[in-house]
Amino acid sequence: MRIMGLDYGSKTVGVAVSDPLGLTAQGVEIVRRKTENKMRQTLARIEELIEQYQVEKIVLGLPKNMNNTLGDRAEKSLELKETLERRTGLAVVMWDERLTTVSANRVLMETGVRRENRKEHVDEIAAIFILQGYLDYLHNQKDRTVE
């Protein structure tokens, strides 16, 4: 079963997909739009990727504040969750994405990507971190039921 991870930003959506066994997350692309409210093409592209990779579940990053409250970006992510569920018929799991963008930037810095080029990759890497966190959680849940 393949799972898709999404990092939803004001003008981009980072996309990652799991391998068929659900062990690892790979980056796919960043879907870009000119303005925040122009979602039609973005949703159409996500639907194409769902079909292409035969995705059965979506994990969407929930950008909580550091004090665990939900702000404006989190509310927009919850709205996207409802839209994705309605349009795709797939379950959408919300996943705490605090510090994924910070981690993604750190990885890009450590691998020598220049500052001006980091924006091109950071959302896709954040989507990988979101999805990999969820996959690791599922794997750990399976390990506990075996004990």
Domain boundaries, the chain: 2-146
Q: Name the more confident of 142 and 54.
A: 54
Task: Using only the alpha carbons of the chain, give its radius of gyration.
Answer: 15
Distance, in Å, from the CA atom of 11 to the CA atom of 54, rounded to the nearest integer, reads: 25
Do residues 90 and 50 lie in contact, with contact meaning Cβ atoms separated by under 8 Å? yes
Distance, in Å, from the CA atom of 56 to the CA atom of 137, rounded to the nearest integer, reads: 17
Mean pLDDT of the chain: 88
Q: Give the model's pLDDT for residue 127.
A: 93
Amino acid occupying residue 11: K
User: Helix or strand or coil: residue 47?
Assistant: helix
Query: For the structural domain made of 2-146, what CATH number should be given?
Result: 3.30.420.140
Closest Cα partner for 45 from 88, 2, 77? 88
For 57-89, what is each residue's pLDDT tens digit? 999 999 887 787 788 888 999 999 999 999 999
What would the two tokens of residue 54 be? Answer: 């035969």
Is a pLDDT exceeding 80 seen at residue 116? no
Distance, in Å, from the CA atom of 70 to the CA atom of 98, rounded to the nearest integer, reads: 11
